[in-house]
Structure 1
């Protein structure tokens, strides 16, 4: 079914999502050493067509499926706006960003919780929720424009540090990527599959 990632299923209202596009993705986080609001705009992600599904599990009583995929080459890019505090330093920045993930594996958990209407009957189309959990990543390349407010020497040094010593930082980045992918695909799956005629295609 991988070709459908690229071409979609127009007869069922499913748009292509390789590459997929998201207008805006928002994230807000706080901790002992940081507090920030991040907005990613015009986000594009590619690589689904070349992915391999290594595990698929459906749990109909829970209205849930889990899909694990390996991506040889997954690429994301867009523009960012960040406003926050890191280690006591105020940061307010914006610019372009580009992320490449090689031999990358993730598990998506897609669920739709039953909800009751005022009459006590189950709604036909409750919202779809997608959660992402990164499994592995063997190589990462991340480039963030205007990272130091246009100070080229500092930005080149930070870029080198990020891409040379990315593995320790990936522990911090993984939850961010999980949130961003989950948020983006919750929107995409609700748009594409909210009214997908599952009943006419899948039979018990």
Structure 2
């Protein structure tokens, strides 16, 4: 049974840092050759955007430093930090040196561009998403204390994400308007989450194995706590790609009057 949908809007308890080298070109760039423009006057704009997105994804996954798009296979994240709440689950957990795998199999299901309101919605699915990295945790799950640090492996299956990005048009020194993402919102569902935290309780195998079993038996409660942070990482990827390209290519070339 799928986990209930959840929303995440710039969570205050989340710290997420993406690895990327910012390139600041001296002048505006044209769209990369693997991305085709759609006319803003096209009555079938969303059909055009969906088709072009499918064609562009294989190249985007490789990354494009010229447009500040990081490689997505895997996506490197320096740190994801979650501070626990006061409920039955309260995890102070930090993931570091994280690699997200699975984007090569991501499927864009729908794109909706509302140019009048400077908004875009992207629906996508990832059959199997995997987080590999280091962790440090101190907290509880359903009154069970959890403490340790070591290697982490979290696998999410049938991950569906619905990402909405809001932008404003910014006029730069060259007098041209550019898209500047200012907000993002994400909803997500998954059918299952599997996790393994190595070296819990200073390597106590019995306690560690029992705790990992408990975490997997109660995965939905754990996902409520750390799921928004992981989903926000996916949202940041989309925002990063949009801002990387649209921030360097003028709006009139991203969405020209005619193609």
1:150 matched to 2:197? The reply is no
Provide structure 2 residue ranges, at least 5 long, that are not aligned to the other structure. Answer: 1-55, 172-176
2:103 paired with 1:48: yes
Structure 1: unaligned runs, 5 residues or longer:
117-122
Q: Give 1:125 deviation, angstroms.
A: 6.2
Corresponding residue of 2:72:
17
Does the CA contact (< 8 Å) of 1:81 and 1:95 recur in 2? Answer: yes
Give the aligned partner of residue 134 of structure 2: 79
1:50-65 correspondence to structure 2 within 5 Å: 50-65=105-120
The answer to whether the 8 A contact 2:84-2:90 is kept is yes
Q: Please give the alpha-carbon distance, in whole angstroms, between the structure 1 residues aligned to 2:126 and 2:163.
A: 13
1:171-192 CA-partner distances (Å, limit 9, x unpaired): 4443343344445665665556
Aligned CA distance change for structure 1 residues 71 and 127 (closer, same or farther; 3 Å): closer
Decide whether the 8 Å contact of 1:18 with 1:47 is kept in 2. Answer: yes
Structure 1 residue 109 displacement after superposition: 1.9
Q: Aligned equivalents of 1:150 and 1:14: distance in 2?
A: 39
- Deviating more after overlay: 93-102 vs 177-186: 177-186
CA distance in structure 2 between the aligned counterparts of 1:133 and 1:99, rounded to whole angstroms: 19
Match of 1:119 in 2: none
More deviation in 65-74 or 21-30? 21-30
The superposition leaves residues 149-204 of structure 1 with CA deviations (integer Å, 9 ceiling, x where unpaired) of 32110111121222344345444443343344445665665556543445324313
Q: Name the TM-score, length of structure 1 as normaliser.
A: 0.75
Deviations, residues 60-116 of structure 1 (Å, cap 9, x unaligned): 233221111111111111112335577789866422211111222111222224689
| 2:185 alignment partner in structure 1 | 131
Query: Which residue number corresponds to residue 150 of structure 2?
Result: 95
> What is the total number of aligned residue pairs between the two structures?
200
Residue 62 of structure 2 corresponds to: 7
Normalised by the length of structure 2, the TM-score is: 0.61
Which of 168, 186, 194 pairs up with 1:141? 194
**Aligned-residue offset at 1:142:** 0.8
